[in-house]
Amino acid sequence: MDDCHRYRVEPGSRPRLADLDPAEHEGATGKREAKARIEATGRRLRELQYLLYAENRRSLLVCLQALDAGGKDGTIRHVLGYMNPQGCRVHAFRVPNEEEAARDFLWRVHRRTPRRGEVAIFNRSHYEDVLVARVHGLVPKAVWSRRYAAINEFERLLHENGTHILKFFLHISKEEQLRRFRKRLEDPGRQWKISEADYEERRYWDDYQLAYEDALHHCSTAHAPWYVIPADHKWYRNLAVSQILLQTLEGLQLQLPPPRVDLEAIRRRYHRELADKDGRED
Ligand code: ATP
Ligand code: MG
């Protein structure tokens, strides 16, 4: 797990999802220890986020993609939940509304990219426009096939403006998805999550795998890498995502900015005021 960058899709390579085991939990000692480690990592992530916010120069964009029940919500809760809400925003992208559909596909995501100092989490993202849009033929091939280049340009623009980008594909097996759907059916606390489309979408499983492979292949770049996270075990998924976030943020060498004021002058002023006050009270 210390080498979690092995889940990174090397630029230009083409991962075969069928060859990547979604149930992998290599190198991790077990659920209980993983939880303790995630907790410790979470606390450090919070500190690093504070530095990012204080530095106010760079930002972080985390894109989460998965098939239904793939664990996007859980990852946000258990890993990104450590971040301070002041300085961290989550955006969920659903079927484009009328305003969004009337514009280019990047419009709605671009306006939700993080400000300097901020972390933005995309629950689904602009990648839907080369995934669901492709699988369901919402636009012709001539349109979606040009989007990879547009996405790469867009992400480069963000990167050149100080935004660090991490993209996670939470890779689950078809069997695990079914187990999770069953759990939702049986658990009254989860039944609200069930949608008509979820089960229907399973028919397109192979098409989605192919669409994901193409997106990973075309759009994993040095400045905006894709990671394929084995996600059948929720604890392992959380551990892997938290370690990658940690290593990325540590790598930024974030520093508190120097004070913007003359501290000595301000101290002298306070001292004078305090001395005056003490004098009056005596
Ligand atoms: P949950 O875990 O709660 O089900 P979710 O992310 O699946 O979360 P939903 O509201 O169930 O949220 O689904 C959002 C739907 O919107 C998905 O089916 C997704 O494919 C679809 N969607 C997202 N972006 C686009 C897009 N650009 N074009 C068409 N459909 C999209
Ligand atoms: Mg859904």
pLDDT at residue 1 greater than cutoff 70: no
Can you spell out the DSSP letters for 32-57?
A: HHHHHHHHHHHHHHHHHHHHHHHH-S
pLDDT tens-digit series, residues 8-65: 999 999 999 999 999 998 766 788 999 999 999 999 999 999 999 999 999 999 999 9
What is the DSSP-derived secondary structure letter of residue 94?
-
Query: Strand (E) positions, 77-223?
Result: 88-92, 119-123, 163-171
Domain residue ranges of the chain, discontinuous segments joined by +: 4-281
Question: Rounded mean pLDDT of 102-122?
Answer: 98
What is the SS3 string spanning 99-138?
A: HHHCCCCCHHHHCCCCCCCCEEEEECCHHHHHCHHHHCCC
* Residue 90: predicted pLDDT: 97
Ligand 1 atom nearest the C-alpha of 201 is: 18
Asked if residue 68 has its Cβ within 6 Å of ligand 1, the reply is: yes
The pTM is what? 0.94
- Band of the pLDDT at 264, cuts 50, 70, 90? very high
Task: Give, for ligand 1, the residue of 124, 129, 200 to mutate: max count of ligand atoms closer than 8 Å to Cβ.
Answer: 124
Testing ligand 1's pocket by substitution, the residue of 128, 151, 190 carrying the most ligand atoms inside 8 A of its CB is 128
User: Domain 4-281 - what CATH class?
Assistant: alpha beta
What is the C-alpha separation between 88 and 183, in angstroms, rounded? 31
Asked if pLDDT for residue 193 goes beyond 90, the answer is no
Measured distance CA(8)–CA(215) in Å, rounded = 14
Q: Compute the distance from residue 123 Cα to the ligand 1 centre, in Å.
A: 9
CA–centroid distance, residue 101 to ligand 1 (Å): 14
The pLDDT score that the predictor gives to residue 273 is: 86
**Using one digit for the tens of pLDDT, what is the confidence trace for 162-181?**
999 999 999 999 999 999 99
Query: In percent, how much of the chain has pLDDT > 90?
Result: 88
In the DSSP assignment, the letter for residue 257 is P
Which pLDDT belongs to residue 145?
98
Ligand 1 center from residue 125 Cα (angstroms): 9
pLDDT at residue 257, as a whole number? 95
Atom of ligand 1 nearest to the CA of 197: 18
CA of 195 relative to ligand 2 center, distance in Å: 6
pLDDT beyond 80 at 126: yes
SS3 169: strand
Q: Average model confidence (pLDDT) for the chain?
A: 95
For atom 3 of ligand 1, the residue with the nearest CA is 193
